Structure 1
Amino acid sequence: MASPTPSKNPLPVVHADSGNSDGGAAALVQTVKSAVRVPESELRRWRRTFDANAKSVVDGARFLDREQFVNAIAPKGDLTRIGRSQYAALFRVADVAKRGFLSWDDFVVFQTLLKRPDADYYIAFQYFDVDGSGTITFDEFKSVFSAEIGSDAIPFNFDCDWVKLHLGKKSGAHVLGYNEFTQLMKGLQGERLRQSFRYFDEHQEGFILPDQFKRIMLELAGHKLSNVVVELLPTIAALTPGGRISFSEVVAFHNVIREMDIIERVLREATAKSKDGRIDQSEFLNHAASTSRYSLFTPMEASIIFHFAGRGTAGQRLALIDFAQLLDPRWRAPGDIEGAAVETIPSSTVSTLLSNLAQSAYNFVQGGLAGAFGATIVYPIDLGMSLMQNQRSTIVGQLLYKNSLDCVKKVFRNEGFLGFYRGLGPQLVGVAPEKAIKLTVNDLIRGRAMDPETGRISLFWEIVAGGTAGGCQVVFTNPLEIVKIRLQIQGEAAKVEGAVPRGAIHIIRQLGLLGLYRGASACLMRDIPFSAVYFTAYSHLKKDVFHEGYHGKKLSFFETLGSAAIAGMPAAYFTTPADVVKTRLQVEARKGQTTYTGLADAFTKIYREEGFKAFFKGGPARIIRSSPQFGFTLVAYEYLHRFFPYPWKETPRDVETALTSRGEEIVKTRARNALKILLDVHGDFGGRTRPAA
């Protein structure tokens, strides 16, 4: 049978003699560059990498030897179990001229090859194509395969029907082009799995022992399994009676490992949508089925996933962190150091208490800074709101302001621009502890009520945390607001009545300690429901509307600001009646104005004299004030946390995998991905010390 013509590729097959001369190498580089467009910025980044690692000098030119090449391409802190030595296998492909070192042009060609969407298959093809002919014969496939798996591995029968179907007979009449080779490599592990099972199942009973199953998986996919999963491999026998493992279970487990990226996506999406952050086996299968045209996983495969995630305990609801040992090959149990279990020493109660106090103090300072920032931005709106709320429809004499716009005009005309910031000093002095205690208490209670595995908190505890935070702030809010409001009110009154404005110290002395808490009951009535609604709405807007944390998403500045501002609207408007009553109780009544003896008396008289609408005076202004104020306050608080986190904060373990990691250089990530097909030949591919080709 005639040999087929090798399939066309986006890039030419790189033959072994392509780089034997400078002209040939230059022509190859030019061909590769023209086939795959490489941005100048990426070429500069490659150049920096090459220059930083190329220490070998030949005839005045710098080159990469094998070790320097590995340093240049291997990711640092990679989230896989691929050893750095295994990246040396790629050197054989990069060293086209077989000189034992790489020039800058060789490095450019190799990095350009890695940009191919099929780089993993293409690199494997180059590796097996020993003679650089552009085709792979039976002898080439057998020699490379045998050298990589080693003599101590589970034997592979090259005379099997599967190999004959792909490569024909041993005579070499049939060779593989690139596209045929990719299909062979895709089915290789399946054939190895069948042969390995048959090798141990000598009597063809359809079962193997747990230790035999463990050996098969270590050879085929050992680099994909964490140490914990490796130790638990024999326990798969517990899924069915008899203490032995069937071929169906072997295939099911192998399918789970092969489709781990899809499994991770399904798990992340399903747990993110779950109300409590946990899912059971049925929910996993339902979500997998709803996100695909056909069923992705069988019930046996789902049972295996939950078996290893739950450490052998079936039927439980699991959080994403429970699946970490299956998803992350480098996952270690808490307390493990370099894979060796050590006894964890629990921290003392005193040290834990001190740590919590220190973190709360740190949050308190950040909350104060954030509160001062938000209050300063919206203070002119706050001034107008106070003036409008205190204006009575039954006032003796003329009405000072027709509407909010008229109020702004008169304040500016009578007091100038600085008049909009009258009373800001006491506001800033008090706003720091006010906002700080609110934010700190809310965070503290949410942290204590939060499920440490899912990071979720129930709606009840969200409301309790917000309400408690609002109640605690009143100890600072009430004195602050009574002084601020009297300073705001007396400014315009002084212009109309000819009175002399008094400072904050005079007002404090006039009121006394008890007087500073006049209207505290109304303040509590306003602040508790406000914070309960506000913090709960803010949390759910971030999570449910803007999908914070979904696929690792972090909210942008405007998404955070939008969440905080929108949450403030209902919280501000529906607590306006309590705010109106509080203002009336705290303001010193002028001659002819109604006085109030308490909370109930104020509600009754305001309703009788001014009607129900009076309770919502300044409501729109309150929304305009509170919404941006808390928006900017929360944004400032979030960004202070992001850029200046508490240095000694104990964060819960996250499920960080190669799928979600974004910290590696993209070039080095490509190098890792290029090894995927070669590692399917043997999990330790390239790990043995071999002479250079």
Structure 2
Amino acid sequence: MFYTFFAQFLVGHPFDTVKVRLQVQNIDKPLYRGTFHCFQSIIRQESVFGLYKGIGSPMMGLTFINAIVFGVQGNTMRLLGHDTPMNQFFAGAAAGAIQCVICCPMELAKTRMQMQGTGEKKSSRKLYKNSLDCLARIYKREGVWGVNRGMVTTLIRETPGFGVYFLSYDVLTRSLGCEPNDRYMIPKLLFAGGMAGIASWLSTYPVDVIKSRLQADGVGGVNQYSSIADCVRQSVRKEGYMVFTRGLTSTLLRAFPVNAATFATVTLVLMYYRGEQGGAQDCEQAQPAKPSHASQIQPQA
């Protein structure tokens, strides 16, 4: 299963880098015209490795986030007592909220690293050596509050986002059925997982745009936004309401395959270890965490 998640990072992280670049670029002097132009520009200007900037942070946080999400979601379902779609939503929301403790600092470091050296093949002056150095420098300069920059928007995104994620998967698997002997079980799991990822991102994507802008703000010592409301106000005034869709194409292109593979892999592994005694119930109850929005492991991604 580790190799599956590793492969998802290799495939999915470039889409996340493009998403962040599009979300936070200066509208007065835009570097990218769209998703594919952004891909081309990064490869041409920064080499293919430019697409993988910041990948160390989500890779380090994946294990902790998965452990928190699985533990919280499973325990919450046991407390609620009944396996219903709405209970899946509440259990997912609880898991999403608690994992923000790890997710927020992780995505802060990822975002800062992804923005570093924009348009440069070899950065003349690197502010951060790696993700850990990034967090250490932010902590030294801004303390605990600095390391948790964007926590409120992360909570607003992850809590309902994870709820929709688990709810969508549960509803789809109940509708499609996933009997162990069904020859189409794996395609059904892939479809349900991919659509759950898309539904999760669509439900909270505007918040993700604001979160990225707040976490990228302050690089170089200049803060553009004083609060969440100020970020929303300035963004809408300069770019209109379409600002909340910036980077959405890249996000959706990443969301379906990554989440399809994640759900199918985790479900099949859990079914294998539990045996086929649980049958279709395992398909409905066994659910994974989101790769790095975020990335997501949000819806992250």
Q: Aligned pair 1:418/2:49, yes or no?
A: yes
Q: Are 2:15 and 1:388 aligned?
A: no
User: C-alpha root-mean-square deviation of aligned residues, in Å?
Assistant: 2.9
2:168 and 2:249 map into 1 onto residues whose CA distance is: 19
Displacement of 1:553 after TM fit?
A: 4.4
- Structure 2: how far apart are the matches of 1:633 and 1:592? 38
C-alpha displacement of 1:488: 0.6
Amino acid at match of 1:548: C
1:594 positional shift: 6.5
The residue number in structure 2 matching 1:379 is 13
Match of 2:213 in 1: 584
| Structure 1 SS opposite 2:30 | coil
Q: Distance in 2 between matches of 1:447 and 1:518?
A: 33
Q: Name which of 237, 256, 261 aligns with 1:632.
A: 261
Q: Whole-Å Cα distance in 2 between the matches of residues 588 and 494 of structure 1?
A: 20
Matching residue within 67, 71, 76 for 1:445: 76
Q: Find the counterpart in structure 2 of residue 543 from structure 1.
A: 174
Counterpart AA for 1:598:
S
Q: CA deviation at 1:644?
A: 3.6
SS of residue in 2 equivalent to 1:407:
helix
Is structure 2 residue 137 aligned with structure 1 residue 510? yes
Displacement of 1:508: 1.2
Deviation track 1:299-358 (CA, whole Å, cap 9, x = no partner) reads: xxxxxxxxxxxxxxxxxxxxxxxxxxxxxxxxxxxxxxxxxxxxxxxxxxxxxxxxxxxx
1:637 is matched by which residue type in structure 2?
V
Q: Distance in 2 between matches of 1:415 and 1:644?
A: 44
CA distance in 1, matches of 2:273, 2:10: 22
Native 8 Å contact 1:385 1:621 kept in 2: yes
Aligned AA (1:628): P
**Is residue 522–residue 582 contact of structure 1 (8 Å, CA) maintained in 2?**
yes
The correspondence for 2:226, drawn from 583, 587, 597, is: 597
Classify the secondary structure of the residue corresponding to 2:26: coil
The answer to whether the 8 Å contact 2:15/2:250 transfers is yes
- Counterpart in the other structure of 2:94: 468
Residues 164 and 203 in structure 2, CA contact (< 8 A), matched pair in contact too: no
2:294 maps to which residue?
A: none
1:429 CA displacement: 0.3
Counterpart for residue 559 of structure 1: 188
Cα distance in 2 between the residues matched to 1:617 and 1:634: 27
Q: Which amino acid aligns with 1:571?
A: S
Q: Deviations over 1:569-603 (max 9, x none)?
A: 12112311110111011114457986112222222
Q: Which residue of 33, 37, 50 maps to 1:406?
A: 37
1:486 is the counterpart of 2:112: yes
Per the alignment, residue 248 of structure 2 pairs with 619
Kept in 2: contact 1:449–1:461 (CA 8 A): yes
Change in 2 beyond 3 A, CA 1:370/1:468: farther
- Aligned residue pairs total 274
**In 2, are the aligned partners of 1:478 and 1:520 still within 8 Å (CA)?**
yes
Q: The residue matched to 1:548 in structure 2 has which SS? A: coil
Render the CA deviation track for 1:433-455: whole Å, top value 9, x for unaligned: 1233223322332244344xxxx
Secondary structure at the aligned position of 2:90 is classed as: helix
Return the alpha-carbon distance in structure 1 between the equivalents of residues 145 and 267 of structure 2: 36
Which residue pairs with 2:158 in the alignment?
A: 527
Cα distance in 2 for residues equivalent to 1:653 and 1:566:
22
Give unmatched runs, 5+ long, in structure 1.
1-365, 452-456, 655-693
Partners of 1:463 and 1:557 in 2: CA distance: 23
1:600 corresponds to which letter in structure 2? A
Q: Secondary structure at the match of 1:431?
A: helix
Per the TM alignment, residue 402 of structure 1 is displaced from its structure 2 partner at its CA by: 1.6
* Residue of 126, 132, 135 corresponding to 1:500: 126
Instruction: Give the 3-state SS of the residue equivalent to 1:491 in structure 2.
Output: coil
Q: Which residue of 1 aligns with 2:85?
A: 459
Partner of 1:71 in structure 2? none
* Alpha-carbon spacing, 1:484–1:495, altered in 2? closer, same or farther (3 Å): same
* Residue aligning to 2:203: 574
Alignment partner of 1:427 is 2:58: yes
* Cα 1:496–1:376 shift into 2, 3 Å: closer
Q: CA deviation at 1:469?
A: 1.2
Tell me how far apart the structure 2 counterparts of residues 582 and 465 of structure 1 sit (CA, whole Å): 23
Equivalent AA in structure 2 for residue 621 of structure 1: S
Residues 1:494 and 1:539: Cα distance change in structure 2 (over 3 Å): same
Give the residue type in structure 1 aligned to 2:197: G
The structure with the largest alpha-carbon Rg is 1
Q: Describe the shift of the 1:653–1:449 C-alpha distance in structure 2 as closer, same or farther (beyond 3 A).
A: farther
Which residue identity lines up with residue 432 of structure 1 in the other structure? Answer: T
Matches of 1:373 and 1:531, distance apart in 2: 22
Using the alignment, how far apart are the partners of 1:527 and 1:411 within structure 2?
28
For 1:555 and 1:441, locate their aligned partners in 2 and report how far apart those are by CA, in whole Å.
31
Q: Which runs of 5+ in 2 are unaligned?
A: 281-301
Distance 1:502 1:564 in 2: 35
Following TM superposition, by how much is the alpha carbon of 1:493 offset from its aligned partner in structure 2, in angstroms? Answer: 5.1
Q: Deviations over 1:222-277 (max 9, x none)?
A: xxxxxxxxxxxxxxxxxxxxxxxxxxxxxxxxxxxxxxxxxxxxxxxxxxxxxxxx
Counterpart-to-counterpart distance in 2, 1:533 and 1:516:
27
Structure 1 residues 475, 373: CA separation in 2 closer, same or farther (over 3 Å shift)?
farther
Deviation at 1:502, TM superposition (A): 2.2
Does structure 1 retain, via aligned residues, the 8 Å contact 2:85–2:171?
A: no
2: distance between equivalents of 1:583 and 1:595?
A: 13
Superposition deviation, residue 564 in structure 1: 0.2
Q: Equivalent residue for 1:175?
A: none
CA contact (8 A) 1:462 1:536 kept: yes
Q: 1:461 to 1:485 in 2, by over 3 A?
A: same
Q: Compared with structure 1, are the counterparts of its residues 372 and 523 closer, same or farther at alpha carbon in structure 2 (3 Å cutoff)?
A: farther
The separation in 2 between residues aligned to 1:520 and 1:423, in whole angstroms, is: 19
Q: Conserved in 2, the CA contact under 8 Å of 1:596 and 1:602?
A: yes
1:44-193 mapped onto 2 (5 Å cutoff): none
Moved more, 377-386 or 476-485: 377-386
Relative to the length of structure 1, the TM-score reads 0.37
- Deviation of the 1:383 alpha carbon: 1.1
Q: Matched residues in 1 for 2:78 and 2:52: separation?
A: 37
Deviation (angstroms), 1:496: 9.8
The offset of 1:617, in angstroms, is 0.9
Distance 2:87 2:254 in 1: 27
